[in-house]
Amino acid sequence: MTARTGQEELAAQFEQWRRYVLRRRELQPSDADELEDHLRGSVDELIAAGLSPDEAFLVAVKRMGSLDELSREFAREHSERLWKQLVLTGEAGSPAADTRSRRDMWAMVICAAGAAVSIKAPELFGLRLADDGAFYARNFALFALPWLAVFLAWRRHARRPLIATLVALFGLGAVAANAYPLAEESKSLVLTSIHLPIALWLVVGLAYVADDWRSSRRRMDFIRFTGEWLIYFVLIALGGGVLSLFLYHTFNAIGIIPQEFISQWLLPCGAVAGAVVAGWLVEAKQSVVENIAPVLTRLFTPLFTAALLAFLVAVGWTSHGINVDREALILFDLLLIVVLGLLLYSISARDPLAPTGLFDKLQLALVVSALAIDVLVLLAITARITDEYGTTPNRAAALGENLILLANLAYSAWLLLRFIRRRTPFTALERWQTGYLPVYAGWAWIVVLLFPPLFSYV
Amino acid sequence: MKVAKDLVAASATPMVLGILADGESYGYAILRRINELSGGELDWTEGLLYPLLHRLERLGYAQSSWQSVAGERRRKYYRITDKGLAELAEQRRQWDTVTDALKEIWLGLGERRPLTAIPLGCRA
């Protein structure tokens, strides 16, 4: 072996050792530099003492001791490194990733600014937020979600057909929201304000999954995205609330009342821009920070199960019928949505190959008790709808949603039972849930497009 | 003979500060120097030295700078600050107190009798 090949081999060994060191979260590139210099000092000395480069390297590494112990000592001094930090720009490791995250951030800033401008643009045509509440209630999703879709489509280099589909669907949403002659106090207006965001959110989902819209895995990713986005959005909204509170009271103290600025500018612009920022945050941090929605699911599944079972026991014990007044159906719709959310987000975090456990049984109990309650409610309410109140758009929509959720949960319970008995694999449940997404989209579009003419714009 | 771990840990800061007070230095050289000074009895690991250096830097007792040596190799040099010198003086005062007291005790013991074990049961 010549001296040159020896040196080359040594360089390769150092490279390998460095990669090994950098796998530790406690050790950063600058630490690796420092330790490598140490190792080289040690190797040089051993070579000078007569060892071959190979031997010198082995002895030097051995002397440095186990990497476990070393990183433990480093962790004691740098405990902050054990907390995963979201690095927004710079220090992302490689220069390529660095420029990518910087470009993402600029795209996000542009989209957020676009959303903020777009919600103020109608004022140019005399539609003021204070006076034309109905216009903004129907349209608010149209000021935020298209921008989020633009950001996602840009990030995924969406192809032309997809972009055309997105534009067409958002256009359809805009037409549905504004073409019908709905009075300010009409029921259909409320329904449109609730269902258009749902329909448009699933259009955002189309931008999210991009070309793989048939893939169950990508759809599940979109469900994860939805959960995290919601949590980030709520956090941003809380921060915005604190900011406006301080703004209001500090300016109040010097005799200026910034109420109009806050309600006309800060809140609407902040809300639509926040929707884009939340989407960007989820994209930027998805591999850095643990998903929080599944953690909340774990926490609340047992609690909700206990609450629902207690309710069922109370109904059976007192033999009280459920008092179905006007809001009952909506309340129980919301309950089903919460149960579905608990189910979805624990599915989203579950390893499909893991064996069945106690938590799966708990989930089955949760779903079955929710179903039992819902069936009681439906039995009580269908009789009333037909003879007492008659059908209104609100009641028809609530009933339709209830049936859609009921069908979903009933089949989910069946699949869960079969999974617990080891008859079907877990992925069957996952595929059922992701396959069901278009049903929600279809229903939301039906409510937005067909309900107003069906109920003659009341 | 190996020096106990607690003692090594307790004496590490004044030793490193003392070595840095002599002039700026880097990790490997500091480790060599300590080995020399203790005749190989003080067994310092890299896991002790580098986090300690980072701590001294964080506390403002030392400053570091990257310098390039021999081609592409970079080396992190540490230099003591005024605050570090003050800390060294304080530590030195404390260590003097401890070692002086210990010396008195060793001396007193040496005058009376050699250290031998006294069986407890013999008193009765």
Q: Are A402 and A332 in contact (CB under 8 A)?
A: yes
Chain B hits for A37, CB-CB cut-off 8 Å, are 26-28, 73-76
The residue ranking higher by pLDDT, A414 or A259, is A414
- Both tokens of A337, joined, read 């949505």
Confidence band for A107, pLDDT divided at 50, 70 and 90: very high
Residue A46 is which amino acid? L
- Both tokens of B22, joined, read 């002599």
What is the DSSP-derived secondary structure letter of residue B61? S
* Residue in the structure block whose two tokens are 């929600």: A440
The verdict on a CB contact (< 8 Å) between B46 and A70 is yes
A74 touches chain B (CB under 8 A): yes
**What pLDDT is stored for residue B122 in this prediction?**
46
* Residue in the structure block whose two tokens are 């390893």: A351
Mark the ranges of chain B whose per-residue pLDDT is less than 70. Answer: 1, 110-124
DSSP helix/strand/coil, B77: strand
Confidence band for A241, pLDDT divided at 50, 70 and 90: very high
DSSP helix/strand/coil, B84: helix
- Both tokens of A251, joined, read 């300016």
DSSP helix/strand/coil, B43: coil
A58-72, A94-108, A395-409, range with the lowest pLDDT:
A94-108
pLDDT average, residue stretch A360-381? 87
Chain B hits for A42, CB-CB cut-off 8 Å, are 28
Residues ≥6 apart with Cβ < 8 Å to A260? none
Confidence band for A330, pLDDT divided at 50, 70 and 90: confident
A70 touches chain B (CB under 8 A): yes
A118-122, A123-127, A165-169, A301-305, range with the lowest pLDDT:
A123-127
Long-range (24+ apart) CB contacts under 8 A made by A41-44 are: A41/B28, A41/B29, A42/B28, A43/A10
Q: How far is A40 from chain B (nearest CA, A)?
A: 9
What is the DSSP-derived secondary structure letter of residue B89? H
Partner residues linked to B80 by β-bridges: B62
The verdict on a CB contact (< 8 Å) between B51 and A77 is yes
Chain A hits for B31, CB-CB cut-off 8 Å, are 38
Residues ≥6 apart with Cβ < 8 Å to A263? A129, A130
**What pLDDT is stored for residue B70 in this prediction?**
73
For testing the chain B interface, which of A30, A37, A78 should be mutated: the one with the most B CBs within 10 Å?
A37
- The partner residue sitting opposite B74, judged by closest CB among A35, A37, A72, is A37
**What pLDDT is stored for residue A188 in this prediction?**
80
Q: Are A195 and A173 in contact (CB under 8 A)?
A: no
A72-81, A171-180, A195-204, range with the lowest pLDDT:
A72-81
Chain A hits for B66, CB-CB cut-off 8 Å, are 33
Q: How far is B66 from chain A (nearest CA, A)?
A: 9
**First and final C-alpha spacing in chain B:** 37
pLDDT 10s digits, A428-444: 888 999 999 999 999 99
The verdict on a CB contact (< 8 Å) between B73 and A77 is no
* Residue in the structure block whose two tokens are 């629902």: A308
How far are the Cα atoms of A24, A58, A356, A372 from residue A40, in angstroms, in the given order?
20, 12, 51, 70
> Which of the given ranges, A88-102, A368-382, B81-95, has the highest pLDDT on average?
B81-95
ipTM for the assembly: 0.77
The residue ranking higher by pLDDT, A70 or B18, is B18
CA A400 to CA A195: how far, in whole Å?
A: 13
The verdict on a CB contact (< 8 Å) between B74 and A33 is yes
**What pLDDT is stored for residue A441 in this prediction?**
93
The verdict on a CB contact (< 8 Å) between B45 and A35 is no
- Helical pair A358-384 and A393-420, crossing angle rounded to 10 deg: 150
Other C-beta atoms closer than 10 Å to the C-beta of A314 total 10
Torsion of Cα atoms, A36 then A37 then A39 then A42, to 10°: 170
CA A13 to CA A20: how far, in whole Å?
A: 11
* Cα atoms in the Cβ-side hemisphere of radius 13 Å centred on A26: 16
Q: What's the Rg (C-alpha) of chain B?
A: 20
CA A66 to CA A63: how far, in whole Å?
A: 9
Residues ≥6 apart with Cβ < 8 Å to A435? A216
Residue of A nearest to B52 (CA): A77
pLDDT 10s digits, A247-306: 999 999 998 888 888 888 899 999 999 999 999 999 887 766 677 888 888 899 999 999
Chain B hits for A31, CB-CB cut-off 8 Å, are 50
The verdict on a CB contact (< 8 Å) between A77 and B54 is yes
- The partner residue sitting opposite A73, judged by closest CB among B27, B51, B58, is B51
Asked if the model's pLDDT at residue A90 lies above 60, the reply is no
Residue of B nearest to A37 (CA): B75
Of the candidates A296, A172, A163, which has an alpha carbon nearest to the alpha carbon of residue A228? A296
Averaged pLDDT of chain A? 85
What are the strands of the beta sheet with B73-80, ordered from one edge? B25-26, B73-80, B62-69
Confidence band for A383, pLDDT divided at 50, 70 and 90: low
Confidence band for A87, pLDDT divided at 50, 70 and 90: low
The verdict on a CB contact (< 8 Å) between A70 and B55 is no
The verdict on a CB contact (< 8 Å) between A69 and B76 is no
A44-48, A49-53, A134-138, B24-28, range with the lowest pLDDT:
A134-138
pTM: 0.72
pLDDT 10s digits, B61-89: 999 999 888 777 889 999 999 999 999 99
CA A142 to CA A140: how far, in whole Å?
A: 5
pLDDT average, residue stretch A228-237? 94
The torsion region of residue A290 among left (phi > 0), alpha (psi -120 to 50) and beta comes to: beta
Q: Are A296 and A167 in contact (CB under 8 A)?
A: no
The residue ranking higher by pLDDT, A387 or A332, is A332
Confidence band for A29, pLDDT divided at 50, 70 and 90: confident
The verdict on a CB contact (< 8 Å) between A37 and B26 is yes
**What pLDDT is stored for residue A444 in this prediction?**
94
Q: How far is A38 from chain B (nearest CA, A)?
A: 5
* Cα atoms in the Cβ-side hemisphere of radius 13 Å centred on A113: 6
Of the candidates A455, A417, A450, A418, which has an alpha carbon nearest to the alpha carbon of residue A195? A450
pLDDT 10s digits, A209-218: 987 878 888 8
The verdict on a CB contact (< 8 Å) between A40 and B45 is no
Residue of B nearest to A30 (CA): B76
Count A/B contacts: CB-CB distance under 8 Å: 53
The verdict on a CB contact (< 8 Å) between A30 and B76 is yes
Which CATH code is given to the segment(s) B5-112? 1.10.10.10
Q: H or E stretch including B50?
A: helix B46-58
Confidence band for A378, pLDDT divided at 50, 70 and 90: confident
HEC profile of chain A? CCHHHHHHHHHHHHHHHHHHHHCCCCCCHHHHHHHHHHHHHHHHHHHHCCCCHHHHHHHHHHHHCCHHHHHHHHHHHCHHHHCCCCCCCCCCCCHHHHHHHHHHHHHHHHHHHHHHHHHHHHHHHCCCCCCCHHHHHHHHHHHHHHHHHHHHHHHCCCCHHHHHHHHHHHHHHHHHHHHCCCCCCCHHHHHHHHHHHHHHHHHHHHHHHHHHCCCHHHHHHHHHHHHHHHHHHHHHHHHHHHHHHHHHHHHHHCCCCCHHHHHHHHHHHHHHHHHHHHHHHHHHHCCCCCCCHHHHHHHHHHHHHHHHHHHHHHHHHHCCCCCCCCCHHHHHHHHHHHHHHHHHHHHHHCCCCCCCCHHHHHHHHHHHHHHHHHHHHHHHHHHHHHHHHCCCHHHHHHHHHHHHHHHHHHHHHHHHHHHHCCCCCCHHHHHHHHHHHHHHHHHHHHHHHCHHHHCCCC
pLDDT average, residue stretch A400-424? 90
- The partner residue sitting opposite A40, judged by closest CB among B45, B54, B73, is B73
Q: Where are the domains of chain A?
A: 3-82, 93-289, 292-425
CA B11 to CA B15: how far, in whole Å?
A: 6
Residue of B nearest to A27 (CA): B51
Taking 3-state DSSP, the helix, strand and coil percentages for chain B, each rounded to the nearest 5, stand at 60, 15, 25
For testing the chain B interface, which of A10, A77, A79 should be mutated: the one with the most B CBs within 10 Å?
A77
How far are the Cα atoms of A177, A281, A292, A341 from residue A80, in angstroms, in the given order?
49, 21, 20, 33
A65 touches chain B (CB under 8 A): yes
Q: Where are the domains of chain B?
A: 5-112
A56-60, A77-81, A91-95, A102-106, range with the lowest pLDDT:
A91-95
- Both tokens of A305, joined, read 């199960």
